[in-house]
Structure 1
């Protein structure tokens, strides 16, 4: 035994002396688990109902768990001081203890694992020193408790050593005192205190004791191809399109496991479904886990909240196919026969609130889609009745999204810098004599409609908005107002949290409506035939060759899949790309082949490509994209990533954004990057600048500051450089402001160099050339708190229809204040 382990054993003498390990299920003391220096230190919070109800905070320091009994539990409200009485050291194994300590034993009562995770902030040696000094500072990375905390010793009261537990003011601070009361179940088993006291086994414990190794193996799922219209005929079966998580349920031997479409085991995320499914005979079922709203529609937002820290709405597994029953592989049978097997398999299952079969919809496909659109549903799935089950994307299964149609009043337009009569139309919803701003319509126009509408708009220009217009604060400042006399038909894919139309597309001019009267169509629009298909290659008439070429081998995504993604994401990406020169990362043979960072367009790149003359007149033309055709051309020529300049045409010397790229060394945890992003946000906020966060899809986070194009590159670059250098000077152990690889070791490089003329940064919603096809994804600051990596979404997992994390981004009108500029550049 080394001197260190002897010391650890001595620290556990008090723990051992107080317990009879023949009576209590608590773990006996050990020598302390040997840990690799690179491993993170653990912490645990256990809710303990004994003689007094309290919470035990335990921090791993030098091989044992230093422990404090916290009355009333931790509080995330800064300034709230919770009494924390120091107790004896506990062994590391205690971090996994949950159960009942019997009567007449020390600490008799029920113990729940309320939270667990890791902590950071200092070494063992420093923490031991600080412990003797009576002041500990640390950062917790748990499921429920996060951010910076402090333990401060008050003194001794008899044999008691009293401390105070205090939450620091940071991004995880809260404005109320509800943290401890908010969670009443175990973070590990999901059980309540009563269930633990009654000895009810958690599903996780029960299933782990069974022979789950005998379960059938995961099979990659069959995937739908996006289509623009519903196929008709007797050979097609129709199902509702659900908005949830595609899931494979594998049952057998009294156990069950649930897997994501990429084969990740999510059984612990769906414990109620897994527990219920354990009674199903051996099988592999394909389906979707959803949460239903009050109207019986699947609600992805509610599902995401239920899987996170939000309200725990009940989840349901919707089964729509079966791949195996017992030892029988039925994938080679027709869909109709597989559905019959599914009916037989679940005929006696008695918990439809947890597991149910997706009903086959009866009737005409187009009329079914019309009904679904009117009810607010996602869309429809069409499947060939005779199709066999083949892993991967197939045209035997089609998904058709419901597209709502509405009539809107044109109240203005945004000017175009590309020579068009306008860039987009600002529209309003009309209800009697009331008008409310409804958003912008920026796609669906042809050269003919451009000219036709442009002529009409020019005659209606006025200096002010329509009288009584509601939602005026949501209208972009660059909108030019017109008299509200034109009515147009638009298609859209729902509404944002602000009530604005999402992905609105121009359909036509409503000349049948009198210009002197307001008109409002029904709130639930009906689907109309799309004037063009939804995949980029078809929507824009740009041919897509070699569509089946696999671009991302690890996840099996093809060139066609990439094209489909950019088609669906176009309405989110294009506002960031409009008139912005770009560079493209190309991988014509897939990401495992050679890649190119291309700044100039190839001669054959024509559709949707704007050629941008070099401002210095010393290089070939650069390029910008003109709408969806440009995206299609990029994909056709092997493009994956889109990197944009920091300015837009026509004035490339007037930056419209500032980007801070927090680029961590490989040793830095994402939690540290995340906390650093909030620090940059705070510094920017103190300078009067609003900022937005983006998970880059790589390793780091971008903090993006929209600007009103009134300052120069020297101003922006000077400010960004000054901020980065000040933070590096303030916290030299955490940050560097230079690109040197050697100086970056163990730190975060605050990359401010993107704030120079012609420098680029990844565009929001761009795919990354990474093995999982991750997305550079904008996130709200509140959502960033919960992210566990810089790759929260991939092409396969992102839900574009429900995303509005940067609400108000394009309405921000700000510049760096002279005083802030002077301070950062001095």
Structure 2
């Protein structure tokens, strides 16, 4: 991390405090430490924490002497800031009740607390309520510190003078111990700022107004909401505690309205009614809506059954989950939850779950348990919801490492905020439950669901034949029942892989039928070419709304559901937040696609039609980053898993909507002007779009610079985030505002717009200087050389993207990688562990855009900024190396 350096211009101020307590501080030394505390400085830290419940780092003393510091904003019972200074392998810690002040003489009470381990420098998370320090904690500032005298003697004396070099706090500071009052158990100090270049006056902005994490950009409130959204975090941390028996004694018989009873064979599940928004009020709790199979786990002695919502026994399908339930240490239980498949991107997917089931793969399957209906001989169905949750959490405490069981955490306030967070992260939605409600079968007002996307089951009533592959479907014809009559709902032509298209063809072609007697006649021509079948299958379908003809708009197949009978499929009430207003069809600008059912991404089953719909739907977001720029294109005519190649110049069968520009090559390069041109690229099998950093209006003058952070295989995602923030900080010192986006691959891109004045060499020279300075300052973290052998444990910060003719993948371009990821612009405060480089994909990006309050790159195209004088930067570097 780059830090500012400055010498203090004044001597330490005299420490004064109310009642003159600080004046006598030097005479009041600390109580002598016990021999045991000296030998084990983290003894108190260890004793205060239950590491089976809190995700805080373990109590390990580090070797060697460093000089790091951290300030953490800690929203516990009372909001405060924790100052921690590295000394003797631990972090000396003070709780600063009102936070540090940059105003000299503004005294801030700092209560000394127990020493913390060095790993606390990076700790950011939610400490469970009921644990010591329960609440949210973010890393508010981070850097190095330097004591002005022997720190051991200064601490013993009660007056420590030191210099901070951080991102927010800098210059000289003073910690002064106050004389203890009677009955005070902790030493109380005052934290004061020295009068130097880093000081502020009282009328200047308070540094505490900067309320976001130095590491992740999140606020404490964001972290609290994310702690619920990333529901697996607490249980994964708890699972690191070894084994198997219950860590917390549970007493279900003492729960309100609990009663002795026989273990039920099966209970009709409680279902949620669809609403536009989660309800408000303290009588509700809110949970993530999962994208998987609803499952009841029945445990009777050593026998486990996993039952679908219709009571089908699917234990063999999920035997790894069944084994984990068997090891809970319970005599008997009936649990309710959802089994999902967790992809590396962190977003559960029903399609991935179906693929895993077909492949016999169980390593990604996770059972999120959200209710306990029966525990150890006690019927809990009449017990209030919140009490059942407490018993369930206790029953799942102490899970072994790697367990596929997860406790489904809940959030007790502001369901609307939680829904917004969930939708922006690409999740399915939120379930709201009344705290005081018993477990009630079927749908009702006690459970409500608010969705980020429109999704429900439809009956498969026919299919069309693919023109791109033999013995495969091209689309599914869908319907639902209304008062016992079948209603035509339109077609779905994307979402199935090549294998699924063949499997569906085999199954459907074996059950042909006459055209159904519809309760409402389909619009003319919409059922042309459909081969009708008996209504035996139910499909899970995601869609963008309903057309004026009451047909599905932009629908995508997510999988077959064999846990629901076709006769029960009806059109769900409510429109969902994703379609609050009538939605128009995506504008395909009259472009005709050949073989629209051709599968371009096997994982997710995205077809050419699906890619065209995607780009048409987000055209307003994507086109400003794509039009009127020379383009290098990655073409994969047969899909992402087949042969792909770069193409810059004209080819046979090129759409007339794709234009050409002379850049000095033997052949002109391609560019597009509008949506028709973009859809022409889709027709040609283009899966990645890499534009130049200049426009065709001024090819020799770049209007942006880009830094591509490409991590080695052993580099953590948090390191990549730190690297992007480091680039941002260095550009900021040169007066350049920058923006960040996911690459859709492994890393992040930092982009800064420019007024197009400098030439390519000047721009490349400047970006090289930035990256070489990063490598010089932190050679263990960053490398400027693109050789893969040098990236072990380091990030290659690629500045070569800024040379003439070099390109980087565009914002909102798809990538030719598994799952159809998309390079996605982010706000800086969105960077977090929960959002990896390939998190956003064709399947979830559109819902993110629906729920953004503002464009995260707002102002990007209007920003006017120029490079600092870069002349001589390169030559000075060479001279320095030669010397």
TM-score (norm 2): 0.49
* Alignment of 1:72 onto 2:97: yes
CA distance in 2, matches of 1:576, 1:558: 23
* Alignment of 1:594 onto 2:643: yes
Alignment map for 1:19-58 (pairs within 5 Å): none
Residues 47 and 385 (structure 1), Cα distance of their counterparts in 2 relative to 1, 3 Å cut: farther
Q: Which one of the candidate residues 252, 257, 282 is aligned to 2:337?
A: 257
Residues 249 and 45 (structure 1), Cα distance of their counterparts in 2 relative to 1, 3 Å cut: farther
* Alignment of 1:667 onto 2:714: yes
- 8 Å CA contact 1:113–1:186 kept in 2: the answer is no
Structure 1 residue 610, shift from structure 2 partner? 1.5
Alignment map for 1:399-418 (pairs within 5 Å): 399-400=544-545
- The equivalent residue for 1:175 is 209
- 8 Å CA contact 1:611–1:623 kept in 2: the answer is yes
Q: Which one of the candidate residues 601, 610, 613 is aligned to 1:561?
A: 610
- The equivalent residue for 2:626 is 577
- 8 Å CA contact 1:84–1:165 kept in 2: the answer is no
CA distance in 2, matches of 1:152, 1:708: 41
Structure 1 residue 622, shift from structure 2 partner? 2.2
Structure 1 residue 642, shift from structure 2 partner? 0.9
Residues 805 and 209 (structure 1), Cα distance of their counterparts in 2 relative to 1, 3 Å cut: farther
Deviation string, structure 1 residues 442-483 (Cα, Å, up to 9, x no partner): xxxxxxxxxxxxxxxxxxxxxxxxxxxxxxxxxxxxxxxxxx
- The equivalent residue for 1:683 is 730
With 726-735 and 148-157 compared, the bigger mean Cα shift is at 148-157
Structure 1 residue 152, shift from structure 2 partner? 8.5
CA distance in 1, matches of 2:699, 2:828: 30
Residues 707 and 240 (structure 1), Cα distance of their counterparts in 2 relative to 1, 3 Å cut: same
Gap regions ≥5 residues in structure 2: 1-34, 63-68, 145-149, 181-185, 200-205, 214-218, 230-245, 253-262, 266-273, 279-287, 297-332, 341-347, 354-364, 373-383, 393-408, 434-439, 458-479, 490-525, 549-579, 877-883
Q: Which one of the candidate residues 112, 135, 138 is aligned to 1:85?
A: 112
Residues 385 and 552 (structure 1), Cα distance of their counterparts in 2 relative to 1, 3 Å cut: closer
- The equivalent residue for 1:105 is none
CA distance in 1, matches of 2:610, 2:419: 25
State the structure with bigger RCO (CA 8 A, min sep 6), 1 or 2.
Answer: 2
Question: Match of 1:580, SS?
Answer: coil
CA distance in 1, matches of 2:115, 2:811: 51
Gap regions ≥5 residues in structure 1: 1-5, 36-40, 101-109, 124-128, 141-145, 191-203, 217-238, 281-288, 319-343, 369-381, 404-523
Structure 1 residue 704, shift from structure 2 partner? 1.5
Q: Which one of the candidate residues 716, 720, 732 is aligned to 2:763?
A: 716
Residues 640 and 63 (structure 1), Cα distance of their counterparts in 2 relative to 1, 3 Å cut: farther
- The equivalent residue for 1:198 is none
CA distance in 2, matches of 1:76, 1:355: 43
Deviation string, structure 1 residues 704-744 (Cα, Å, up to 9, x no partner): 22233333223322222233233333443433333233444
CA distance in 1, matches of 2:173, 2:788: 38
Structure 1 residue 652, shift from structure 2 partner? 1.7
Residues 630 and 354 (structure 1), Cα distance of their counterparts in 2 relative to 1, 3 Å cut: closer
Q: Which one of the candidate residues 601, 606, 626 is aligned to 1:551?
A: 601
Structure 1 residue 257, shift from structure 2 partner? 3.0
Question: Match of 2:844, SS?
Answer: coil
Residues 185 and 745 (structure 1), Cα distance of their counterparts in 2 relative to 1, 3 Å cut: closer
Question: Match of 1:642, SS?
Answer: strand
Structure 1 residue 765, shift from structure 2 partner? 0.4
CA distance in 1, matches of 2:72, 2:176: 24
CA distance in 1, matches of 2:277, 2:535: 21
Q: Which one of the candidate residues 828, 853, 859 is aligned to 1:781?
A: 828
Q: Which one of the candidate residues 784, 789, 792 is aligned to 1:745?
A: 792
Question: Match of 2:209, SS?
Answer: coil
With 354-363 and 79-88 compared, the bigger mean Cα shift is at 354-363
Residues 581 and 385 (structure 1), Cα distance of their counterparts in 2 relative to 1, 3 Å cut: same
Question: Match of 2:134, SS?
Answer: strand
CA distance in 2, matches of 1:131, 1:246: 53
Structure 1 residue 568, shift from structure 2 partner? 1.7
Structure 1 residue 362, shift from structure 2 partner? 9.2
Structure 1 residue 759, shift from structure 2 partner? 0.9
Structure 1 residue 591, shift from structure 2 partner? 3.2
- 8 Å CA contact 2:826–2:856 kept in 1: the answer is yes
Alignment map for 1:517-556 (pairs within 5 Å): 534=587, 536=588, 539-547=590-598, 549=599, 551-553=601-603, 555-556=604-605
Question: Match of 2:808, SS?
Answer: strand
Residues 812 and 130 (structure 1), Cα distance of their counterparts in 2 relative to 1, 3 Å cut: same
* Alignment of 1:635 onto 2:682: yes
- 8 Å CA contact 1:768–1:774 kept in 2: the answer is yes
- 8 Å CA contact 1:149–1:166 kept in 2: the answer is no
Q: Which one of the candidate residues 736, 757, 762 is aligned to 2:804?
A: 757
- 8 Å CA contact 1:256–1:277 kept in 2: the answer is no
- The equivalent residue for 1:478 is none
Q: Which one of the candidate residues 11, 31, 34 is aligned to 2:40?
A: 11
Question: Match of 1:761, SS?
Answer: coil
- The equivalent residue for 2:134 is 113
Residues 132 and 790 (structure 1), Cα distance of their counterparts in 2 relative to 1, 3 Å cut: farther
- The equivalent residue for 2:664 is 616
Deviation string, structure 1 residues 264-319 (Cα, Å, up to 9, x no partner): 86959999999889999xxxxxxxx999xx9xxx97x772347899xxxx95469x
Question: Match of 2:691, SS?
Answer: strand
Question: Match of 1:659, SS?
Answer: strand
- 8 Å CA contact 1:584–1:597 kept in 2: the answer is yes
CA distance in 2, matches of 1:56, 1:816: 37
- 8 Å CA contact 2:275–2:450 kept in 1: the answer is no
* Alignment of 1:346 onto 2:442: yes
Structure 1 residue 821, shift from structure 2 partner? 5.8
- 8 Å CA contact 2:275–2:449 kept in 1: the answer is no
Structure 1 residue 753, shift from structure 2 partner? 1.3
Structure 1 residue 606, shift from structure 2 partner? 2.2
Q: Which one of the candidate residues 859, 864, 869 is aligned to 1:813?
A: 864
Residues 276 and 812 (structure 1), Cα distance of their counterparts in 2 relative to 1, 3 Å cut: farther
Structure 1 residue 776, shift from structure 2 partner? 0.6
CA distance in 1, matches of 2:811, 2:249: 42
- The equivalent residue for 1:330 is none
Structure 1 residue 763, shift from structure 2 partner? 0.5
Residues 695 and 173 (structure 1), Cα distance of their counterparts in 2 relative to 1, 3 Å cut: farther
CA distance in 1, matches of 2:633, 2:388: 49
Question: Match of 1:797, SS?
Answer: helix
- The equivalent residue for 2:7 is none
- 8 Å CA contact 2:82–2:96 kept in 1: the answer is no
- The equivalent residue for 2:558 is none
CA distance in 2, matches of 1:47, 1:801: 31
Structure 1 residue 766, shift from structure 2 partner? 0.7
Residues 346 and 9 (structure 1), Cα distance of their counterparts in 2 relative to 1, 3 Å cut: farther
CA distance in 1, matches of 2:581, 2:681: 34
CA distance in 1, matches of 2:220, 2:597: 57
Structure 1 residue 25, shift from structure 2 partner? 11
Alignment map for 1:430-509 (pairs within 5 Å): none
Question: Match of 2:770, SS?
Answer: helix
Structure 1 residue 777, shift from structure 2 partner? 0.6
How many residues are paired up? 568
Superposed CA RMSD in Å reads 6.7
